[in-house]
Amino acid sequence: MLRQGAVLRGCTAFPTIPVLGSFLGRKTRMRTFQRRIAAAIGAALGVDPAPLESQFSTPPDRKLGDLAFPCFLLSKELKRAPVQIAGELAALDLGLEWVSEVTAAGPYANFRFHREQFARQALAEIRSSGDEFGCSEAGAGRTIVIDYSSPNIAKHLAVHHLRSTMLGQAMANIFRAAGYTVVGVNHLGDWGTGFGKLLCALERYGSEDGLTESPLSERDDAITVLNGLYTRFNNEAKDHPELDDEARAWFQRLEAGDELARARWKEIRQFSLARFQQVYDRLGVKFDEVIGESFFEDRMPVVIAELEEKGLLEESEDAQVVMVGEDIPPFLVRKKDGTTLYGTRDLAAVKQRWDTWHFDRCLYVVDAGQGLHFRQLFTVAQMLGWECADRLEHSAFGVMRMQVDGGWAKGRTREGHVVLLEDVLDHAVEKARAVLLEKNPDIEDPDAIAEAVGVGAVIFSDMKARRIKDVNFDLEKIVSFEGETGAYLQNTHVRFCGLLRKSERQGFDPAAGAGAALTTDEDLTLLQELLRFPEVVERAAEEAEPSIVSQYLLGVASAFNTYYAQHRVVDEAPEHAARTADRLALVDRVRVTLRNGLRLLGITPLERM
């Protein structure tokens, strides 16, 4: 009914650019280079090179070589022992100028690179996409709808909302970078019987809180007041069941379009959204569409009619349901009082999303506890014969547990109140400011930097592990900025931003280096690691798993920090000018990788801290 729609544009940080081909696999390193070796092997042995491309791995020890090729697959196809095939490969001339040597080590053929040649070509490859390094066109022509954040109005954004919100935002960024068209939807919880209770509570106790004199929308504490009314209502309803009937009546009034009910609901929705927006702005979260459940109010009858028409709707225990399977409970379409449920609205939403966007995938970034609901929903879509049914995915994530009496439990803290997301952000920012002022007292604009570091640390801590893992909310850990943290990535990024700034003042130009001097093991490790970035992003999209990017970034930062500790980058001696230019070029590409990766995760990269 009320469509807020298209209030925000999506992340524009990653315009798509043409890069490389399709995704190959996790163990893959540097697919263009592997493709060339695979092609050479295929030609020499007379086999299809395509399946070979994903076979490559990294030797356990650099002494063995720079790229490993296990011969087990070829062994099956050629019906010869892998050890023998490895030997044959070692004797071949592949005709690749950047491969200097092939040695057989048991069933492995290990390729050693001609360091100068390889470094030159690798650097060119990494540079080819300029500042959009990491982007690809792997998903070109495909549309992904992502349902994320989706909080209930009239409530605060609590710390556990961070999960759906940031995972979804990161996924949206990642899919866009991989070339997909993305529609990010905030499926606002703005409908349902709960609002009957709320309206009822407002009517009964509102005047006591002075709400008649000072309207809710003019009060900063409006949501807190509403929460109080709601809690009070629920407590009183325990002893007075007739209150629940009254609440149901209010929801029916709301559904029927009663003027007073509608006006109050609309006001609540309005200021809830405004409050959410403050936090979203802080987190850098943007949606393409904000569509509440209320939007589907007049679309549900159409879907229910279709269920009926196809003979799927049944009466059971006075409710209308769809029987979705023997081992799971039925999908509720209408309660016995005739009102609808959120599942009904979800079903209408599936239809609306399909009709509007013809998506290739529709992801629900919702906690794992709702697995059954989505299983039911998807099954109903299947039973309806909807083409989109198998494109629906529940991108489930684990629960956030709070510390309660020495242990960890779902939901609330020991004191029984929710931890507000804003309070967590504030706390992290305060800690970041303290550390910043201690490390770098003369820094310009410490507020902005502390904000980025603090908020970034909170975001990163939530996206470091695979999303299905439960997370224990531990404020101390979140604001610890050492080790595998958001601040570590920021700091690494900042360090070579500073290095590049300084080198520029000294007259060096990172664009001047061609890469031929990047010949140490550490150079090679970094180049190989950097080359993976586009396929890492593609895989993160494929699996809807932002932690793949997080983990990759930690690896890059760690490799760079090791490098940085061992090798002097800027050397002003004229005889080392070429090497300095090459190392600066490498550093510049690490910088771009970290910057883009942080952005994908929804973290603002800093240039100073």
Partner RNA sequence: GCCCCGUUAGCUCAGCUGGAUAGAGCAGCCGCUUCCUAAGCGGCAGGUCACAGGUUCGAAUCCUGUACGGGGUACCA
Subset of residues 556 to 575 that bind RNA, contact rule: CB under 7 A: 557-558, 561-562, 564-570
For residue 441, state whether it binds RNA (rule: CB under 7 A): no
- 270 Cα distance to chain centroid: 28
Q: Which is nearer to RNA, 181 or 230 (CB)?
A: 230
In angstroms, what CA-CA distances link 220 with 272, 275, 449?
11, 9, 27
* 238 sits in which H/E element: helix 222-239
* 373 lies in the site for RNA, by CB under 7 A: yes
Q: Least distance to RNA from the beta carbon of 15, Å? A: 27
Buried b (16+ CB within 10 A) or exposed e, 155-194: bbbbbbbbbbbbbbbbbbbbbbbbbbbbbbbbbbbbbbbb
Of residues 445 through 474, those in contact with RNA by CB under 7 A are: 449, 453, 464-466, 468-472
Here's the x/- map for RNA, 487-516, by CB under 7 A: it reads as: xx--xx-xx-xxx--x--------------
CA neighbor of 418 nearest in space, from 188, 138, 151: 151
Q: Verify binding: residue 87, RNA, rule CB under 7 A.
A: no
Residues 256 to 275: which contact RNA by CB under 7 A? none
Integer Cα distance of 511 and 503 in angstroms? 12
Q: Does 395 bind RNA (CB under 7 A)?
A: no
CB of 84 or CB of 472, closer to RNA: 472
DSSP, collapsed to helix, strand or coil, labels residue 220 as: coil
215 binds RNA (CB under 7 A): no
CA distances from 174 to 188, 360, 374, 461, 494 (A): 23, 16, 24, 18, 23
| Tokens read off for 270 | 């309005």
**Bridge partners, residue 393, by sequence:** 363
Site for RNA in 139-178 (CB under 7 A): 152
403 is a contact residue toward RNA (CB under 7 A): no
Q: Which of 382, 403, 484, 519 binds RNA (CB under 7 A)?
A: 484
3-state DSSP assignment of residue 161 = helix
**CA-CA distance, 250 to 256, in Å (whole number)?**
10
Interacting positions 283-342 with RNA (CB under 7 A): 293, 316-319, 321, 327-330, 332, 335-337, 341-342
Least distance from C-beta 581 to RNA, angstroms? Answer: 13
# residues contacting RNA (CB under 7 A)? 99
User: How far apart are CB 342 and RNA at their closest, in Å?
Assistant: 4
Residues 439 and 450: beta-carbon distance below 8 Å: no
Taking the complex as a whole, the smallest distance from the CB of residue 358 to RNA amounts, in Å, to: 26
- Residue whose CB is less far from RNA, 60 or 385: 60
Taking CB under 7 A as the binding criterion, the range among 120-128, 141-149, 218-226, 478-486 that sits at the site for RNA is 478-486
d(CA 219, CA 211): 9
How, if at all, do strands 361-364 and 331-334 pair? unpaired
The answer for residues whose C-beta is within 8 angstroms of residue 275's C-beta and 6 or more apart is 156, 157, 222, 223
60 near RNA, judged by CB under 7 A: yes
For RNA, the closer of residues 11 and 584 by Cβ is: 584
Work out which of 5, 18, 301, 371 binds RNA, going by CB under 7 A: 371
Site for RNA in 183-212 (CB under 7 A): 189, 191-194
110 binds RNA (CB under 7 A): yes
- Does 548 sit near RNA (CB under 7 A)? yes
* CB-count exposure of residue 506 (10 Å: 0-12, 13-18, 19+): exposed
The region of 14-22, 62-70, 261-269, 270-278 touching RNA under the rule CB under 7 A is: 62-70
